[in-house]
Amino acid sequence: MSETTDKAEVLLNQNVAPEQFDWDSFESGLDAESRQEKSDLEEIYNGSLNNLQDNDVLIGKVVRLTDKEAIVDINFKSEGVISLNEFRYNPALKAGDEVEVMVDRREDKSGQLQLSHRKARILKAWDRVNELHETGEIVNGFVKSRTKGGMIVDVHGIEAFLPGSQIDVKPIKDYDQFVGKTMEFKVVKINPEFKNVVVSHKALIEADIEGQKKEIIAQLEKGQVLEGTVKNITSYGVFVDLGGVDGLIHITDLSWSRVNHPSEILEDGQTVKVVILDFDDEKTRIQLGMKQLEAHPWDALSADLKVGDKVKGKVVVLADYGAFVEVAPGVEGLIHVSEMSWSTHLRSAGDFVKVGDVVEAEVLTLDREDRKISLGMKQLSQDPWSNIEAKYPVGSEHTGTVRNFTNFGVFVELEEGIDGLIYISDLSWTKKIKHPSEFCAVGDQLKVVVLELDTAARRLSLGHKQLQENPWDKFETKYAEGTVHAGTATEVFDKGAQVQFEDLEVEAFCPSRLLEKEDGSKIKKGESADFKVIEFNKEFKRVVVSHTGIFRDEEKKNVREASSNTSSNKSTGSSNNEEKSTLGDLDVLAELKKKMEGK
């Protein structure tokens, strides 16, 4: 008989009331004390079971190893198993080692607790990487392989990306040289959503350089001579690495001689000595010089050189306004284009010399204090104005070349350096010329006569019409007042007409009221008729004519013959009053002249 049955019989024998019977003890077979102990154990078990969650990272102890698994105790109701593949990074794993694990599944089909060491490492590593990103702490990483645009680095079990631009401060061409190496990195970027990590080795180098830079900058002084390495060559200068700090040698500070491009003087990687010329307040922009370490070329210039001396040099720079000639190493003089030729027609300096030419010149000015020298080439040949009076006396005739025009005349070159001006009024005796281009063209050969000569002012006044006799001398007789000539109305205006005579050299004006014909109509443009000269002015080259006066004179003559009682003086006066041009006609003539000149 069981112990429970015995207890039941004892209770029955003691005549215990049913309501006092301990049915729990009867059914469980345990007394009250034993049942309490069991209850406590169940509570502890259930509590541990509930507290153990998936993805929790725990510390477990390896209790034994099999061929494929590691048995790990995590103080749970059962031991967990982890595949040995997750410990390939640690081939020395043995029983008794503590490892980080994560609950993968609390029970598999066989009721075994499944753990993961790899997941625990990744989760812990992610927390560690986030911490490194926040603190900026340096971490060691293993470069696993190359990938597009950079490298894959193992950082605490997490694969991080190392961009190619973040490997070094200098561009890297061969990435393979870093594969398999353990290097120091700084976590520079994290994407929590995609679990991406970006690391940089360059940031550490830059930090070291920055530290060195601050140390170097603190010691910099103007005039200090340092040694550096050529880092970069540009068209405007050279950047020199002074040991973490970059300085610039401007192209003008490379050499006392003119430099077209810095590559003529220096090359990449070359070691050079430089002097600190200047820097800004933060010493972030440092200006360096090389030529300042050498004596200035002007100090070596011959003390005997003076104004008037002849020198030879090479053309190093050419501009429209002149050429710079190096007469000694580092010493340049300017030959202005006006000093290249005696010609007064300024041209480009390129018409006389080109870069690289060796030329001879005379020293015109020399300022050693300001280190300036000006030169001249034309001074080596005779000044054409030195014997101008003998070559071009007043009244002498010559042939010159039309060089250019102005509104008031034509410039004619008689020889290089000798130009004369023909005023527009001295081009023709008879033609009304508004602009010289109506008479000749640039480059034409033109015969001239010297009218005036001013040696001191270097002015030569020329004439062209003076080569011919003044036709107005003979016109004065030919077109005397009262003479009648055949002419054609070339232009007809409201107040008159322009009349061309047969010799084509004289144009006359006929007032509108004197264009009337005998039938009462008026002469039209292109119509030919006889005209009577009623006014001739040689000085102003003006001729006024009348057609109406011809037949009216005849009418008046007939009237005089028919009426002997009429005073001849009165008749003559009437004729003169009709024929003479009035003040109004003169105004019309002046207005017509303006119109003709403006047309």
Q: Which pTM was predicted?
A: 0.41
- The per-residue pLDDT for range 528-555, each reduced to its tens digit, is 999 999 898 877 778 899 988 888 876 6
Nearest residue to 496 via CA among 514, 474, 480, 517:
514
Q: How distant, in Å, are the alpha carbons of 236, 366, 551 from that of 358?
A: 27, 20, 84
Cα–Cα dist 509/511, whole Å: 7
Cα–Cα dist 95/72, whole Å: 9
- The per-residue pLDDT for range 569-590, each reduced to its tens digit, is 444 444 444 444 454 555 555 5
Query: What is the residue whose two structure tokens read 């598999």?
Result: 108
Q: How distant, in Å, are the alpha carbons of 254, 388, 519 from that of 546?
A: 87, 52, 16
Determine the pLDDT at residue 102: 83
Cα–Cα dist 495/492, whole Å: 8
Q: Which residues pair with 183 in a beta bridge?
A: 141
Cα–Cα dist 242/87, whole Å: 50
CA atoms within 13 A on the CB side of 421: 13
Each residue of 54-86: b (16+ CB within 10 Å) or e? Answer: eeeebebbbeeeeeebbbbebebeebbbbebeb
Determine the pLDDT at residue 211: 74
Q: Does residue 173 surpass a pLDDT of 70?
A: yes
Q: Does residue 15 surpass a pLDDT of 70?
A: no
For residue 273, what pLDDT band results from cuts at 50, 70 and 90?
Answer: very high
Q: Does residue 240 surpass a pLDDT of 90?
A: yes
Domains of the chain listed by start with CATH number: 53-120 (2.40.50.140), 136-206 (2.40.50.140), 219-293 (2.40.50.140), 297-380 (2.40.50.140), 384-467 (2.40.50.140), 472-598 (2.40.50.140)
Nearest residue to 498 via CA among 486, 511, 485:
511
Whether the Cβ atoms of residue 309 and residue 326 lie closer than 8 Å to each other: no
CA 66 centroid distance within chain:
76
Q: What is the mean pLDDT of residues 504-522?
A: 85
Q: Tell me the two tokens of residue 361.
A: 């010149």
Beta strands in 54-108 (DSSP E): 57-65, 69-73, 80-83, 98-105
Lowest mean pLDDT among 248-252, 419-423, 443-447, 476-480: 476-480
